[in-house]
Structure 1
């Protein structure tokens, strides 16, 4: 069901806590939000229809990691915020590993990461996005036939290999537009587009703004915060 995001003011070097109800303390629940940015694909967790739950106790639980996390949160000091963020990321990685090992991965792409072929293709898309990949070349990297690769990839990641490749390219392009001085043509070529026109068209479709206008707005935002 849709959940409303509760925002609590973050004071410098502190972690917000919220107490629900007036009675004595009962169940302690730790909630965290991790935002993925940069070269990556948005929406990987959007397919999750319910929360992932892990028990603290047991030989393969997360008790020790959460003890450190809660202790740091209870006594905020210098560096608490970046440390707790790192701990939450560590817990997320361990949680996903356990889900894969138990065969209960709640998202198709989590299980797909244990597939060596699909993992190799995904790695190529995310880290070699400037190369002129096709479904055929990606299938070759995965060691599969074109039809089998396209079907398994789309089922696992919720979109076709080429759509995912375009998303990776545009994500990197948006980062370059905001942080580099390269021309629009240079950015387009850097992320694998053959022409400025095709790049601009894809960028407008994805972000509803022209690349040049996006760069201008990014520069205005940077000046206002400097």
Structure 2
């Protein structure tokens, strides 16, 4: 599996378009646990980041904010800024080693990424024609745009630490692949060091240097991330805890709560409620349109 396919498999991305048209004035984005894609087609747009840095855009551009960092957009001209805004949510949650390895924000002129402008043209055409199924088609198009942005990030090497760097490391990529395929198997430090063909101490240090966390921490994060995907598929908890490498439900529940602050059932209820609320918003937008 190539790096991009691995990343997408770990993230389980869902996109939702919530604004299309002319942005005149100020819009703030601060929702915790939500990433955003903003696509500027024409006009002038000012972006103010969480650290108060201001960026002015005057050409078709895509803004990608993956880690829920507060930011503001301002379309100040009389005509405003023609754009589409979409939320990006990850079914496995924002506390994910892959999400944490991505740049917090990316500003890409459409002309800088081959093929990106074509997808954006189709996205805006879909928004303007208002045919049946428009919202579903737009959401899928945003997901395709998201994949193209990730492809650009991976190919440009826009990250110096974390999972993306580990996937580019010949020895550690084997370890990450082994962890992913053997969550209920032997994931001891000794076994992982053997796969990396390193001594135990050298492996631990190299792993920490590249990923920024200890092997055991990564293994637990990977197990919980996989468990979240299985929970959302309504698999029984007894089966989930076995598939992700825990001997009993109580041990799995303790590890899950330590990682997320919630029990598996609390997390499932919260995410099911959020999904229902998001579907309601999409339906209401479709009715208004």
Task: Give the structure-1-normalised TM-score.
Answer: 0.68
The answer for the alignment partner of 2:57 in structure 1 is none
Aligned to 2:247: 194
Change (3 A) 1:192 1:103: closer
| Of 86-95 and 99-108, the range deviating more from structure 2 | 99-108
Select which of 135, 138, 145 maps to 1:81.
135
Q: Which runs of structure 1 show a deviation greater than 6 angstroms over 4 or more consecutive aligned residues? A: none
Please tell me whether residue 53 in structure 1 is matched to residue 122 in structure 2: no
What does residue range 6-17 of structure 1 map to in structure 2 within 5 Å? 16-17=19-20
Deviation of the 1:192 alpha carbon? 0.7
Q: C-alpha displacement at 1:59, in angstroms?
A: 6.9
Give, in whole Å, the separation in 1 of the partners of 2:196 and 2:225: 23
Secondary structure at the counterpart of residue 140 of structure 2: helix
Q: Does 1:71 align with 2:125?
A: yes
Residues 206-217 of structure 1: pairs in structure 2 closer than 5 A: 206-211=259-264, 214=266
Task: From 136, 139, 144, give the equivalent of 2:193.
Answer: 139
Q: Which residue of 2 aligns with 1:8?
A: none
For 1:14 and 1:215, how far apart are their aligned partners in 2? 25
| Matched position secondary structure for 2:108 | coil
Structure 2: which 5+ runs fail to align? 1-15, 26-75, 278-289
Q: Note closer, same or farther for the CA distance 1:117–1:215 as it changes in structure 2 (3 Å cut).
A: same
1:71-120, CA deviations, whole angstroms, 9 ceiling, x for partnerless residues?
A: 22333333333332332232223223323333433764334332233333
- Name structure 1 gaps, 5 residues minimum: 1-12
What's the CA shift for 1:134? 1.4
Aligned mates of 1:94, 1:216 — CA distance in 2: 30
TM-superposed deviation, 1:52 = 0.7
